[in-house]
Every structure is written in C-alpha cells, then in structure tokens.
Structure 1
Amino acid sequence: MTSVLFDTRGPRARRRHAIYSVVVVGGVAALLTYVFLRLLDAGQFTAAMWQMFSYEGVQRRILAGILDTVKAFLLGVAFSLVLGILFATTRLSVHRLVSVPATVLVEFFRAMPLLIMIFALYNTAWLRSSVTAIGGSLRDHLGGPGSWLAATFASPTLWALVIGIALYNGAAQAEILRAGALAVPRGQREAAVALGMRKGQLMRAVVIPQAVRSMLPSIMSQIVVTLKDTSLGFIITYEELLYAGKLLAQNTATPTGYPYIPVLLVVGPCYIGMCLLLSTAARRLASLNGRTATAPIRREKGLLRRR
C-alpha cells in the first residue's frame, strides 16, 4: 500500500533501515546485559537479598504502603473530579466576573509543578494546625470511631499530598470537561433554553452529563495519572508504597549490601498492577458507555423492522 505521508522506501533504504534497527537493538541488548552483570556482581540477585520478603513484618509494611497509596488516590480522585466540574462550569460561564478568575486558577494550577505544590502545602503552618485541630475534635466528640478517623485521616502529610493532587488534576479534569462541553451540539443547548431551562439547569442536566460521557476515556486516563502522582508523597515522608519500599531498602542490610533492586522489582509491579486495573476499568466503562449510547438507535431500528 502506498502511503500519502511519505514516499515508499526503496531496496537500499529498506536495507539501511534494517541495519539501523539491528544496531539499535544490539546496543540496547548490550547495555541491558552490562547493567545486569554489574548488578549481579554487586550481589543484588542473591538469595539473601530476597529473603526479607518472606518475613511477615515486611509483607505487612508493603501492604500498608499499598493501602496508604489507595487512600490518597481515592481522596485525590474524589476532590479532583469535584474541582474539575466546578472549574469547568465556572469557566463556561458567560459572566466574566466568574469565568476570568476560574481561568486564572485553572491555568495557574496546570502550570505549577505538582512536586512544588505538594512541598509548599506540607510546609504550610495552617494546614498542620487545621488537620491537628480536626483530629483532636474527632477524638473528643466521637470517641472510638473518632479516634480511628483521626488516626486514619488526620495526617498533615496525607492532606498535603491530597490537596496538591486535587488542585493539579482538578485543573486538568476541568479542561477535559470543558472540551467535552464545547463539543455538545449547539442545537441541544437551544432546545434546553426553549424548554425554559436556566443556565445552571442547562449545565447540570444537558451539558455536563454529555461532556462526561464523551470524554470518559480522557477522564479515566487522567485518573490513572492521579494514581501515579501519589508516588510523589515520599518527598514529604507520606508512607505510601514508594516510601515504604525506600525504608525497606535503606534499613535492611545483607552480607552483599542493601536490596535496592529487589525492592524495586517488587514495588514496581505493584504500581503497574494498580494502573492496569484502572486501565481495565476504563476500557470496561468505555465499552459500556458505547453500548448505552447506541441502545436508543438499536431500539429504533428494531421498531422499524417490526413495522
């Protein structure tokens, strides 16, 4: 088949590109072999390096890191989606007093590096005092359940990470939703206005639901990014999975050194597994969304056949 983007390569070009491919693959294979041999000489693949993972305490520490990662992820996703809907709605407002500040905030949070935002929040006095006060109030007024809530959620490091993730990803979700809202056909807006809907009702009942449906794959992709962003919590000593792996690697001495590579080979697949689960859920939602969207068309075709 002839491509319209570039000319078809001739025999000499194909041979030259084949040689380039062999050279690149051979170079990468040689580099990986060299790295593997150096790590093997350093004792990173000896049995003593992996023995730590048979201990129940290490397994519990890794499981606790996974649970802390999931906790920060769920809170970050919930707040980022709420902020995304709020920012998208205000940016689409016809009132400049509402849309201009929302635009400034969205662009600011999108431009600000997430790591700097998390670190700045962690070093903010009001966040620490507020979380501490809320935790004390929960213990005083709710007894046992309040103590559990305070021990589980009243952590300044957790909320510094969650707020930073929510602001950054909320701005990204707002742009995704705004693009989906602008893609809604103009006729549907006009029909809703003709039915007497106000602007708020129009956004809630017509525009936002369709924007969410059309942009669902992009929304789920950003949610996967949110999960990976939780790994930045190790900078502020939030005890998520990456921080747990760092502690295990630095505090477990073996006759051949510290088990950095074994910990990496255990922690890395945990992140990959969680991302794959989210990606699978995204594909399922996308396929379900497609079937739901085409259901009225299939019903209409069935009625026409019966007639």
Structure 2
Amino acid sequence: MRKPSDDLHLLFDTPGPRARRRIHIATAVSLSALAVLLALAVRQFAAHGQLDRSQWWMFAQWPVLRFLLDGLGHTLLATAVAAALAFPLGGLVALARLARSRALRAVARTYVELFRSVPLLLLLYVFLFGLPSVGLTLPVFWQLVVPIVLGNAAVVAEIFRAGVLNLPRGQTEAAHSLGMTYGQTLRHVVIPQALRALAPALVSQLIRLLKDSTLGYVVSYLELLHQAKVLGEYYHAVLSTYLVAAVAFIAVNAALSRTASWLESRRS
C-alpha cells in the first residue's frame, strides 16, 4: 500500500547527509530563537505586572471559569451548527458545479466566486444592519451562523469538487460500463470515495469555522472571545484573560488537528 511519503519522493529527492545536517542546524537555531523570544516576552510581562497574582487570581474562582466555559460552549455550538449546514450545502453546490446543465453550473460558480470573495465581516454587517433596514431581523445566533455558513459552503464546495475531479477516471468509466447512469455513478461510486479522501480536509475546515465564530462580537453573540473581553475589562486583566481564551482555542484546534491527522493515517 502506498504511503503519502511515497508520493513526496516523486517530487523531492531524499535529503543527503549534508542536507540533513543543515536541516538539523536550522531547526536548532529556530527553536533557540523561539525560546529567547518566549523568555523576553515573559520578562516583559513580569516587568509590567502581568504575572502578578492580581492578574490571575480570578481564574481560581468557579463563577469566572463557568463564565468562560459558557462562552466556549456558545462558540462550539455556533461552530457545530455552522458545520452541519455548511458541509451539506457545500456538497450540493459542488454537485451543481459538476452538473451537465450549463445554467446550473453557472449559478453554482457565481455563488462560489461571490461568497469566496466577500469578506466574512462584510457579510456579518449585511445581516446586522442591511437586513433590518428592509424589515428582516434574525436572532443574534443566526446573524452569526448564516454568514459563516454562506462563506464556508463556498470553500467546502471547491474542496469537494477538487476531490471528485482528482478521483481516477477509470472508476467512473467502469461504473458507466456496468450500465449506471450519471446520477447513479455519482451517488454510489464517486461521492463515497470523495468523502473518504476528503475527510481530513473537511475536519481541518472546522478549524476555520471555529475561528470564524470569534467574529460573534460584531453581533454581540456571547462566544468565548466576547466573554473574555467582558471579563478582562471587569477585572482590569485584559491580557491574562485573552491568554486563557487563546489556550482554550489552541486546545480545541489541536484536538481537531489530531483528528484530521488520524483520519489521514487511516486513509493511507
């Protein structure tokens, strides 16, 4: 069974002893520089009182932790709902782009190009200010989720379409030779294989969804970053509160990255 590293060897020569030595030296220098920068940052934090007990004592109180955990729960809820809507919608748009109808392909391509080009922040402002001006006001949760869905569905559509186009043509031709129609071939042969191949990429897309949810402050959605802002201003400990929120985001993103790596190893 071929491994991903086998394909990489087709593109790059295996490093020799001198190249490996240079790689090790560059890695050591980079890690040393990173350690120095981290030490300088800690020193500056200490010099400005950011490591004092007054900046951290509140995180030992359960009401404060519950306040942040509620924000994290809202963040994960928005991410999960957005993913549950964006992934199927992206799949449908990808199928429309692969359809035989020229008009359907044109509509799907217009959607993808439009929502890949428009910044998410601008979409949020449209739902926050534009729609209410014409008499349509969505709940705060959907003012955040719907723009995220529209933007990420366009990205998912291109990921899915690329995965379908990268499948070996022989399998499609074999399905046609068995008498399957175009729709049956997509449903029974192409789509299941594309989903298995794209599972790591789709899990990685969840990281983008998670980061997009931090724009919830625009619509006053009580996600983690919004809660950290409120808490930091209340206790006059903005930096320490944002650092705690950053650790929470890093932990969730690390779990998603590990899931993507596990799926990639299972696929290989």
What TM-score comes out, normalization by structure 1 length?
Answer: 0.72
Note the 1:6-25 alignment, pairs <5 A.
none
In the alignment, which residue of structure 1 is the partner of 2:222?
239
Distance 1:112 1:76 in 2: 18
Note the 1:196-235 alignment, pairs <5 A.
196-235=179-218
In the alignment, which residue of structure 1 is the partner of 2:240?
262
8 Å contact from structure 1 (residues 192, 202) kept in 2: yes
8 Å contact from structure 2 (residues 201, 260) kept in 1: no
Q: SS state of the match for residue 56, structure 2?
A: helix
In the alignment, which residue of structure 1 is the partner of 2:7?
none
8 Å contact from structure 1 (residues 121, 127) kept in 2: no
Distance 2:258 2:221 in 1: 28
Q: SS state of the match for residue 171, structure 2?
A: helix
Tell me which of 228, 249, 252 is aligned to 1:271: 249
In the alignment, which residue of structure 1 is the partner of 2:151?
168
Could you say if the C-alpha distance between residues 127 and 173 of structure 1 is closer, same or farther in structure 2, counting changes exceeding 3 Å?
Answer: farther
Q: SS state of the match for residue 87, structure 2?
A: helix
Note the 1:175-194 alignment, pairs <5 A.
175-194=158-177
Could you say if the C-alpha distance between residues 47 and 89 of structure 1 is closer, same or farther in structure 2, counting changes exceeding 3 Å?
Answer: same
In the alignment, which residue of structure 1 is the partner of 2:48?
42
Tell me which of 101, 115, 127 is aligned to 1:95: 101
In the alignment, which residue of structure 1 is the partner of 2:80?
74
8 Å contact from structure 2 (residues 75, 213) kept in 1: yes
Identity %: 36
8 Å contact from structure 2 (residues 128, 219) kept in 1: yes
Distance 1:69 1:196 in 2: 47
Q: CA deviation at 1:63?
A: 0.9
Tell me which of 93, 101, 112 is aligned to 2:118: 112
Alpha-carbon displacement from aligned partner over 1:117-173 (angstroms, at most 9, x marks no partner): 1222222335996666xxxxxxxxxxxxxxxxxxxxxx32x2122111111111111
Q: CA deviation at 1:211?
A: 1.1
Runs of at least 5 residues in structure 2 that lack an aligned partner in the other structure? 1-11
8 Å contact from structure 1 (residues 44, 260) kept in 2: no
Distance 2:253 2:68 in 1: 17
Alpha-carbon displacement from aligned partner over 1:12-58 (angstroms, at most 9, x marks no partner): xx8xxx89x96x88876666555444432332111111121222321
Distance 1:193 1:30 in 2: 62
In the alignment, which residue of structure 1 is the partner of 2:63?
57
Q: SS state of the match for residue 51, structure 2?
A: coil
- Write the letter of the residue equivalent to 1:59: L
Distance 1:274 1:80 in 2: 20
Count residues with an aligned counterpart.
Answer: 255
Q: Which structure is larger by alpha-carbon Rg, 1 or 2?
A: 1
In the alignment, which residue of structure 2 is the partner of 1:288?
266
What TM-score comes out, normalization by structure 2 length?
Answer: 0.82
Runs of at least 5 residues in structure 1 that lack an aligned partner in the other structure? 133-154, 253-257, 291-307
- Write the letter of the residue equivalent to 1:193: H
Distance 1:42 1:35 in 2: 11
